[in-house]
Structure 1
Amino acid sequence: MIEAGSRLDALARAATVHLLPAGVDNAVQWGSGFFVAPGLVVTAAHVLRPRLVGRQDMEFAVRGDALNNGIPLPARLETWLLRDPACESVPADEDLALVRLLDPDVEHECLWLVDRAVEYTGPLRVYGYRPDERPTGKRIVPWSVDADINVVDGAGGLRFRPDAEFPPGVSGGPLVDADTGAVVGVVKSRRTRSDGGAAVSSLALREFGTHYRQLVEAHDRWHASLPESPDTGDNWIDLQAGELGQDNPWTPADRRTALGLLARLPPPGDAHAVRRLAVVARSYSRWPGANPPLHSWRDGHGLLYEGRRPLSPLIFLRYLALVAAYVTARGADATLLDAWVKERLRAHPDRSMHALVTDARLPDELRPAPEEPLHAVVPYPTAGDGRTVVTVVLDPVIGAVPTRFFWQIWVDDGTGEALLEAADQSDEGQPPEALAQVLGLPLARVFRAGDREGSPAPLEVALPVDEFDTAVHRWRFAAVAALDDHQYLGAQRQVVLRDLARRLEPDNDAWLARWQGLGQAGALTAHRAPEHGRTPQADRYARLPATHVPVLCRPAGRGLGKRTMAAFLDSGHAVVLWHIDGHAARGCGEDCDVLHARAAGLLDSIGSVTELPDSIRLLREEIAARREDRRWAEPLALLYDDPGRPVPGGDLDVVDAPQ
């Protein structure tokens, strides 16, 4: 337990500061903050928002009793998580900001950031600055208190036990874990109603993305340099081991050295590489819960815990050896990391277990791929092949008029088992026209975690046949994109649709048989539909060869197109192409002939059905680059319904519209 007046407590106080206007004395205070890396202060965004809205480049000041002899230093906002700075209240997962000193050479203490990706609950010590309560002066003084977090409140939110009291000015101050001495959160607000106040989890720092990675790399390099307090000669990590009495074989000093060496390496190409190497290091034993955001090699180190306790040192050394192999295979120098792993391994007493580290090898999927020609087609993932797929499930609200959906986002990270990452928290669902905007932020997060270097994760959208003409491939995160906008999803990644009804019938024999036939087929043949003068019939479509892929030149969600699509689904067809934008006349015209001819050429040109989704993506990429000869493909939608990867969530209850 960190005790008031202890040497570790003194270091925490030395790293804590407060923010104030430039050019005034310290009688004015905006809020608190703390150093985590050279020149970088973490604080709550709401502390700065009222002062910096519309003038985010404004200079202000940072001051601390142990900083620059108590003389304020000039600083500016580096970045914040606020999406709408003019909002009335700041959500917990947006209430963080990074502040940078203008003088990069100022010496100061830095707190230690937790590497575990968990929402902390339990005892801690809270630091900040507050106005002096004495009537004789208006100075700002340091403050700290013991407290407990007992509630995790939504994305990034933490709540204190009701007995905690926080004075004005401490918002933005650090929450330091009483067991490990690491920062686990940031003060957000004082007591409201019956609770003791709110905080932001330090896990929300990962939402800074590249800024977060650069922050933790600078943090780990600073701590690895063994800095000492100019007043006492104390060092943060050494005191963690001494005052807090950690006896795990993977010591705070081991962790400091390992993370310092990882911070010297080139960053990972994508989150998948970090996650996969951590899984391999754990002998394919996953951590509980969903996959956290992973931006740095440090984040993979943070997956090697059970609760708050580190796993065996061999697990950490195996992870480090795998990271070294990964970066070395890509031409980087990991000599220092390799040498330390070997040195640390010699200290492990059980030599019979050393092979766990010395025999560590990269999974084939993480070995550098040979140079491929420009615009090479990437086959669609199959179940358990190690590649990530993101699935959005849109469940219609029963009885809602007009149509509304409850949404869920599932992620299969390549294991063949999908995990629920986010879900609609509303009571009434979302109208179709709002989906692109509502799904934007959660999809951005899962894409950031699931995209591999040079290979964005495909997006599947499962919805009822009535909604098959939803222009998912035109979505952007902010709005539906214009035709030539290269940011629209269909040009960025493979986008396919799934039949929501098949989620409830995974044992559909006709569907399974036709999919197997497609997988064994070579070149595919386009089947023009609906056929002139013939009523769509499932029995007739069931007799089509497995190599035939239906192509509809009209929407699939209404009229004759809907009846035709229903017949194809009833007969087990798993891959269908159609035109979502309407049919100008009752009968087919020249545009229909062009679409069918081009679609037939596309299907004939690919070597496998798994190449179809990316072949369409490449066409859309060329449309965005203003290739006029590719525009025929822009309104195409693709049903790609692999029964080997069923639509997830089939055991969830259907919810009726509220009365």
Structure 2
Amino acid sequence: MTSAAPGESDPVIDALLRAATVHLGARDGAPPWGTGFFVAPGTLLTCAHVLAPHLRGDAGRIFKVGGPELNGGEPLDARLDRWLLDGGPLPEHKVPVEQDLALVRLLDPDAEHECVWLTDRTDYAGGRGVVLGYRPGGEAQPHRAVPWKATARVNGFDDEYGLRIRPEAEFPKGGSGSPVLDAHTGAVVGVLKSRRTGRDGGLAIAVTALRRFGPAYQELTAAHDRWHGHSPKVTGHNWIERQHQLPGTGVQTGGDHWSPRDRREALAHLAAVHPPDGIRPLAELAKKARGGTAAPPGQLLPHAWRDGHGLLYEAGRPAAAIAALHYLQLVVEYDRARGGDPAPLADWVLRRLQDVPRIVHTVVTQATLPPGLRQDPGSDGASDRRLVIRYPRPGDGRAVVIVELEPVVDAAPPRFYWRIRVDDGHDVNEPLHEAQTGDGTPPEGLVRELRAPLAEVFASVDAPGAPAPLEVALPADHFDTAVHRWQLTEMARLHHPAYVGVRRMVVLRDISRRGEPHVDWLDRWRRTADAAALTACRTPPARQVPRPRHLTEMPAAGVPVLCRPAGSGVGRRAIGMALDAGHGLALWQTDAHPDQGCADFCEEVHEGAAALLARTAGADELPDRLRRIRDDISGSRSGGHWAEGVALLYDDPCRPLPFDADGPVDSP
């Protein structure tokens, strides 16, 4: 086969795309449902609306996928792995663009097949491409899957994920789920969603929408990059070698040019590195690799290491070797600082440095992490847990400042009485300051009223370099009070942040748990304390309503994580069930949640919380680990960070709040 003429697609890449593309349908030989294509070993991508009508009532239904170059032409069994459709009934008609992707898994894990090359670019400028798939055979042969192909030009965009295809391409009915190939780079950039009724043109879904799958996206892209990293490298009949013939992928090789081969090797090694701790480290490392310049505006947030590489492009052109190698070395330093061992990636970077000018070698070998991502002074990076200040335990002599907020009965809008106590392991029954009479204080006036008494108490109990934690006990209906955002001084010194949750550990407690702890609460706390590591448990599970069993059957190491407010609606029911089940730890997002199900940010919250808990060796590490994240957010001014609005329940039954006989709340 020959190379492509300027502006046309490469014939070998077209053939590889066809080999990776399959048709989907029922096992009984009914007309095909639509098209899909392999993106990783055993996993193919299609539109959710292709499957939804056929999986209604049985999401686990087995169906078939087939193509002339798959399994000798014999169909293989498959089933839905996951899709982006939110909860509720399956749609009868149109599915929103951001929800219209589904991943399908072959039942035979050893089946061999081709995989497409997915773009790693965060943006896409549009241009000429190729769309190919299958359509039903029509009245004469309705059960036959007929291959088709069309050229197309993406010339418009619809919100974050919609790719508009100009009206010069005609798409057949049943073509949904077909891959959209960028002829300029030889990479798949989209999934055909719909045609325009009675007219040419249509709409595709950008493959960047895969990021909405959350942690599964990282697993998928890692599997994709590993597969391509081990694909044939010398025959010319693979995606990467043919991309060398295309104008958009860096024709020159070696030295300071970053070629498709470089990209393939780099992404394959990045796939073996432990995922980053959220979005911020990715963005920070990519920014530093770009010489301190942020990526152009309008690009989607990165979720996986390959996405960081995708931020290095300039005006659609491949990154220079100095930027790419600098980024890779920063990933090495980041992983090492967290106890990882990215030796294969580090070795590959050193080998690649042999071909670059001396200045590139110097920049890369002397790479250091941005200040907000560095280990604390004196850390060897291998045991990050030794740097964490553990939360005070009963009898260890360290003080905790407690603010109790009691709602005034029948007050509308709500108002509070308050008390300030100190738990120093000896006597916490005597309030140091309180306001227990009159009309109470409205929520918006609490900070102003508490500033002076809290400043006095903190001055008496803070140790040098070790501010005392702040506990705020209040009813669960008011758990969305973002205490960590309180500013307890109107004019803070530059080195003393104004936000209380940045300077000291801040946690919430349930004020209804006064007095002798309930046996369920005490039992779960002790079992959690004995667990080797904590794990995040999505509460409620995706696309489900909260049930008591979700919380009672949660493992001892499980920590409920809510991506929604806990003071009302679904979140209030879920946190109430958590408290009833004895949970003393929980994380939730105090900011507003979309009315129509979870959004991208919800996945960031769950992904970030899972990473936080995975590196937390015990409940008493959690408050300080969250405080350090808040400190990073404050330093970087990152308002979109997953943890910016997250609150922490840390309710230790071994230090119960004293029972107040005069208060309005009874002991449980």
* TM-score of the superposed pair, with normalisation by structure 2: 0.59
- 1:155 aligns with one of 146, 160, 170: 160
Q: Which residue of 2 aligns with 1:186?
A: 191
1:213/1:619 CA distance change after superposition, 3 Å: same
Q: Which residue of 2 aligns with 1:339?
A: 347
Distance 1:65 1:375 in 2: 62
Q: Which residue of 2 aligns with 1:42?
A: 45
Distance 2:136 2:42 in 1: 25
Q: Which residue of 1 aligns with 2:59?
A: 56
CA contact (8 A) 2:34 2:174 kept: yes
1:247 aligns with 2:251: yes
The gaps in structure 2 that reach 5 residues or longer are 1-5, 376-380, 394-410, 417-430, 457-469, 478-487, 489-495, 523-578, 585-589, 592-629, 641-668
1:15 aligns with 2:24: no
- 2:223 aligns with one of 218, 226, 230: 218
Q: Which residue of 2 aligns with 1:86?
A: 90
CA contact (8 A) 1:526 1:550 kept: no
Q: Which residue of 1 aligns with 2:526?
A: none
The C-alpha deviation readout for 1:151-179, integer Å capped at 9, x for no partner, is 21123222211222110221001011111
Distance 2:302 2:99 in 1: 18
- 1:360 aligns with one of 358, 367, 372: 367
Q: Which amino acid aligns with 2:110?
A: D
The equivalences for 1:89-168 within 5 A come to 89-132=94-137, 135=140, 139-168=144-173
CA contact (8 A) 2:81 2:105 kept: yes
Q: Which amino acid aligns with 1:114?
A: T
CA contact (8 A) 2:122 2:299 kept: no
Q: Quote the RMSD (CA, aligned, Å).
A: 4.6
Distance 2:303 2:269 in 1: 16
1:156/1:376 CA distance change after superposition, 3 Å: farther
Q: Which residue of 2 aligns with 1:70?
A: 73
CA contact (8 A) 1:274 1:300 kept: yes
Q: Which amino acid aligns with 2:244?
A: A
Q: Which amino acid aligns with 1:183?
A: V
Distance 2:236 2:506 in 1: 63
Distance 1:643 1:41 in 2: 41
Distance 1:107 1:548 in 2: 69
CA contact (8 A) 1:149 1:160 kept: yes
- Shift of residue 139 of structure 1? 2.6
1:351/1:612 CA distance change after superposition, 3 Å: closer
* TM-score of the superposed pair, with normalisation by structure 1: 0.59
Q: Which residue of 2 aligns with 1:314?
A: 322
1:134/1:546 CA distance change after superposition, 3 Å: closer
CA contact (8 A) 1:529 1:550 kept: no
Q: State which drifts further: 302-311 or 363-372.
A: 363-372
Q: Which amino acid aligns with 1:113?
A: L
Q: Which residue of 1 aligns with 2:337?
A: 329
Distance 1:47 1:244 in 2: 34
CA contact (8 A) 2:117 2:239 kept: yes
1:114/1:198 CA distance change after superposition, 3 Å: same
The equivalences for 1:20-31 within 5 A come to 20-24=25-29, 28-31=31-34
CA contact (8 A) 1:528 1:550 kept: no
**Matched residue SS, 2:146:** strand
The C-alpha deviation readout for 1:497-529, integer Å capped at 9, x for no partner, is xxxxxxxxxxxxxxxxxxxxxxxxxxxx98756
- Shift of residue 143 of structure 1? 1.2
CA contact (8 A) 2:473 2:511 kept: no
1:238 aligns with 2:241: yes
Distance 1:645 1:125 in 2: 42
Aligned-pair identity in percent equals: 43
The gaps in structure 1 that reach 5 residues or longer are 378-465, 472-524, 552-574, 583-599, 601-606, 632-636, 650-659
**Matched residue SS, 1:139:** strand
1:548/1:621 CA distance change after superposition, 3 Å: closer
Q: Which residue of 2 aligns with 1:283?
A: 291
Q: State which drifts further: 283-292 or 258-267.
A: 283-292
Distance 1:197 1:63 in 2: 25
Distance 1:470 1:11 in 2: 67
- Shift of residue 470 of structure 1? 11
Q: Which amino acid aligns with 2:245?
A: G
The C-alpha deviation readout for 1:260-286, integer Å capped at 9, x for no partner, is 011112222322222221122122210
1:321/1:47 CA distance change after superposition, 3 Å: same
Distance 2:511 2:366 in 1: 42
The count of residues paired between Structure 1 and Structure 2 equals 448
CA contact (8 A) 1:16 1:35 kept: yes
The equivalences for 1:467-482 within 5 A come to none
- Shift of residue 116 of structure 1? 1.2
Distance 1:266 1:183 in 2: 26
- Shift of residue 119 of structure 1? 4.6
